[in-house]
Copies of this chain bind each other. A is one copy, B any other.
Amino acid sequence: MTKISWPAGTLLAPVPPALISCGSVEKPNVMTAAWTGIICSEPVLTYVSIRPSRYSHEIISENKQFVINIPNLALAKATDFCGVKSGRNVNKFEACNITAAPCSKVKAPQIAEAPISLECEVLEIKSYGTHDMFLAKVLAVNVDDKYLNEKGALSLEKAGLLAYAHGFYYTLGRQIGKFGFSVEKTKTIKKRNSRLKNEKKHTKK
């Protein structure tokens, strides 16, 4: 293994190829952005970085609201299309056959078909160069109930989320462990396996 050094680049991966929706249910727009992330857990702060030339930049600057929609495999083509085309020239909701649905806390629409949608309110806009960063507070999270298990917990592995890495879209692959798996005691693992076995028995009844 030898590592070679390249000039600065945006080679952070994988990142979410997020569908950023804005405007209103009546006049929605959507663009794809991979420059997004969580900044703080409490309060829940996030951001999306957008080029000033983009139509969504204009809308979000005015309305101070947007929604981060997390796409799955069924939305792969729409995700790519919404990152290539401009809402100035095409109604992307119509073109991609996706639905602008109302949110609970913001006027910006969510994409009904996305497994997860985060309602965001802009706190600050910062200009950094090619991109402006929209720092935002997450006000609510909308989850498709078909990914909830019988206890009401989210089984996200069923959603078939997409990832973006170095210019390519990927599916998420195999689940290889839960946070903390590297330090889990054998006893804890055995206990959980036995519990899961019991739960399965009860479900079968």
Contacts and interface: CB of A to CB of B under 8 A. Distances in A.
Interface of A: 1-16, 18, 34-47, 49, 68, 70, 73, 76-78, 80-81, 83-85, 101, 103-104, 110, 112-113, 116-118, 128-131, 133, 137-146, 148, 154, 156-157, 161-163, 165-183
Contact of A171 (B11, B18, B146, B174): B174
9 contacts: A7-B140, A8-B43, A10-B41, A11-B116, A12-B70, A13-B16, A15-B37, A35-B38, A76-B176
Contact of A40 (B133, B161, B162): B133
B176 A173 contact: no
A37 B39 CA distance: 9
Given A170-B174, A171-B173, A172-B172, A141 B179 contact: no
For this chain, the copies found in one complex come to: 2
Contacts of A117: 3
Contacts of A157: 165, 168, 170
Nearest to A96: B182
**Ranked 5 nearest A-B pairs via Cβ:** A37-B37, A173-B173, A171-B173, A80-B182, A40-B128
B142 A14 contact: no
A172 B15 contact: no
A176 B17 CA distance: 13
A101 B49 CA distance: 32
A173 B172 contact: yes
